[in-house]
Amino acid sequence: MAEPFDLVVIGAGPGGYECAIKAAQLGLKVACVEKNETLGGTCLNVGCIPSKALLHASELFDEAGHAFAGMGIEIPAPKINVKQLIAFKDEAVEGNTKGIEFLFKKNKIEWVKGLGEIVGTGKVKVGERVLETKNIVIATGSDVAKLPGIEIDEKTIVSSTGALTLAKVPERLLVIGGGVIGLELGSVWGRLGAKVQVVEFLDAILPGMDGEVVKNFTRILKKQGFDFKLGSKVTKVEKTKTGLKVSVEPAKGGDTTVLEADVVLVAVGRTAYTGGLGLETVGVATDKRGRVVTDGSFKTNVDGIYAVGDVIAGPMLAHKAMEEGVALAERLAGHYGAVNYDVIPGVVYTAPEVASVGKTEEQLKEAGVEYNVGKFPFTANGRAKANKTTEGFVKIIADKTTDRILGVHIIGANAGELIQEAVVAMEFAGSSEDIARMCFAHPTLSEAVKEAALAVTGLPIHM
């Protein structure tokens, strides 16, 4: 392809590949540099997609073992074939990464294979080749955060990557970090038979989520067999002949307890990945946490260099990166593009799922905003009763004066799909009354959203 390019995107994760595709759709000549053998970044290769394949399969396994008999479906006790399970997951990954390859070809985006290094304004070196371009987008994503002294070997001491390819179900899985990864992957192996212990530094799991949701969700997970050691930190993991010895201390200091495990999953967050990018050479500024500093329109401090996704500030979520990539491509092509950071949903894909968008009660209290809350439990929803998925509730928080929806938090089956109704309403600056007056199909789990909206200023029908 003749150079120069209009745009060279470094990194083909969700932020990078969507930026490349949208820019190409809008007529720009685009190359995307990716060092991995496949496109799609962390999300498609070792994150969102493979974990969802394992969550789906393990949930069906769990249902077959526990819920089928109650529905009159009589089958022998299910057995798990881990090799086939991993192959099922790999197939899902391949289907998705190949899909991006197809989209690159379709949109005439050149995939330049190798590590991209910015060697000057408008210059990206990949191996022996130097790409000339008008604009550079850094979309290099993030990497697993490490704990000092605990070496990840991806066999018995694993990150999320290793936890997607365990050769067998561990008898005892110890998870360090009660965040999204710890709870999702803990759920996978827990459903398949592992005894799961979670050591969390803070006094609650899922920091930043609505407190009431966290309290309920913790209870649900305990019922599923999760054992939580909250307010605790892991100081050492030792390998012995019989497994791993994990030293745990109270976060505030105190006596050490030694726990035993077969596999330890380190899931204490992720850090911006800028290895080998050459940011110092061109003087791109980073913050204290190593993230590329951008202004409100994804520009770095160096002209012609932009950044999106996990490598900049904000929630490390694939869909946040995607929106940023698209908005930036639109801007580079001379159009208008923006991201509404107030309305970015977050989903934990456990069973039940946990989903939220907007503000939590805690955040609103801190900001001194007055609000009303409407809640509706799935125990009172007809479809949830029929499906026997009655755990959880929908909670809608709306401004006390204007009734504008400020936050929606859901625990329940399909919460990750239901939350999108709230996203749409909030994007259009909707009020709880707007939702309460809409017609919802019956019988659906969605009706719990309508009933929660009715509960904000009045009374739900089914309670």
Active site (catalytic) residues: 442
Coil, strand, or helix at residue 39?
coil
The residues, ordered by sequence, that sit 6+ positions from 292 with a Cβ below 8 Å of its Cβ are 138, 272, 274, 279, 284, 285, 286, 300, 307, 311, 312
Would you give the binding string for ligand NAI spanning residues 358-397, x where CB under 6 A is met? ----------------------------------------
Residue 269 near ligand NAI by CB under 6 A: yes
The stretch among 7-15, 86-94, 164-172, 176-184 that binds ligand NAI (CB under 6 A) is: 176-184
Among positions 116, 141, 178, 352, the unique one binding ligand NAI when judged by CB under 6 A: 178
Rounded to a whole number of angstroms, the minimum distance from the CB of residue 267 to ligand NAI is 4
Q: How many residues bind ligand NAI (CB under 6 A)?
A: 26
Rounded to whole angstroms, the Cα distance separating 375 from 457 reads 11
Rounded to a whole number of angstroms, the minimum distance from the CB of residue 404 to ligand NAI is 26
Using CA atoms, how far residue 332 sits from 6, 29, 132, 181, 450, in Å, is 9, 11, 16, 34, 40
Closest CA to 216 of 55, 397, 379, 65: 379
> Residue 172, class by beta-carbon neighbours within 10 Å (0-12 exposed, 13-18 middle, 19+ buried)?
middle
SS3 content of the chain, % helix, strand, coil (to 5): 35, 25, 40
Rounded to a whole number of angstroms, the minimum distance from the CB of residue 345 to ligand NAI is 9
Rounded to whole angstroms, the Cα distance separating 71 from 152 reads 43
> Which residues from 301-320 bind ligand NAI, rule CB under 6 A?
316-317
267 vs 384 by CB, closer to ligand NAI: 267
Rounded to a whole number of angstroms, the minimum distance from the CB of residue 140 to ligand NAI is 15
The stretch among 56-64, 200-208, 276-284, 364-372 that binds ligand NAI (CB under 6 A) is: 200-208
Using CA atoms, how far residue 47 sits from 50, 55, 56, 124, 408, in Å, is 6, 12, 14, 27, 25
Rounded to a whole number of angstroms, the minimum distance from the CB of residue 235 to ligand NAI is 9
The span from the first CA to the last CA of the chain, in angstroms, equals 64
136 vs 339 by CB, closer to ligand NAI: 339
Would you give the binding string for ligand NAI spanning residues 405-434, x where CB under 6 A is met? ------------------------------
Rounded to whole angstroms, the Cα distance separating 36 from 197 reads 33
Q: Is the peptide bond before 207 cis (omega within 30 degrees of 0)?
A: no
* Contact predicate 318/337, CB 8 Å: no
> Which residues from 323-352 bind ligand NAI, rule CB under 6 A?
346-349
Rounded to whole angstroms, the Cα distance separating 56 from 184 reads 11
49 vs 86 by CB, closer to ligand NAI: 49
188 vs 456 by CB, closer to ligand NAI: 188
Rounded to a whole number of angstroms, the minimum distance from the CB of residue 67 to ligand NAI is 24
109 vs 266 by CB, closer to ligand NAI: 266
The stretch among 132-140, 268-276, 334-342, 360-368 that binds ligand NAI (CB under 6 A) is: 268-276
Residue 131 near ligand NAI by CB under 6 A: no
Using CA atoms, how far residue 244 sits from 158, 192, 263, in Å, is 12, 20, 7
Rounded to whole angstroms, the Cα distance separating 184 from 413 reads 15
Residue 180 near ligand NAI by CB under 6 A: yes
Question: String of b and e for 261-285 (b: at least 16 CB within 10 Å)?
Answer: bbbbbbbbebbbbbeebbbeebebe
Apex 170 CA angle, 69 and 225, nearest 5: 50
Would you give the binding string for ligand NAI spanning residues 201-220, x where CB under 6 A is met? xx----x-------------
Torsion of CA 191, 197, 199, 200, to 10 degrees: 40
Among positions 21, 33, 166, 199, the unique one binding ligand NAI when judged by CB under 6 A: 199
> Which residues from 108-127 bind ligand NAI, rule CB under 6 A?
none
Rounded to a whole number of angstroms, the minimum distance from the CB of residue 346 to ligand NAI is 6
Residue 62 near ligand NAI by CB under 6 A: no
* Contact predicate 38/45, CB 8 Å: yes
Rounded to a whole number of angstroms, the minimum distance from the CB of residue 182 to ligand NAI is 5
Among positions 9, 54, 147, 158, the unique one binding ligand NAI when judged by CB under 6 A: 147
Which positions lie near ligand NAI, rule CB under 6 A? Answer: 147, 176-182, 184, 199-202, 207, 233-234, 267-270, 316-317, 346-349
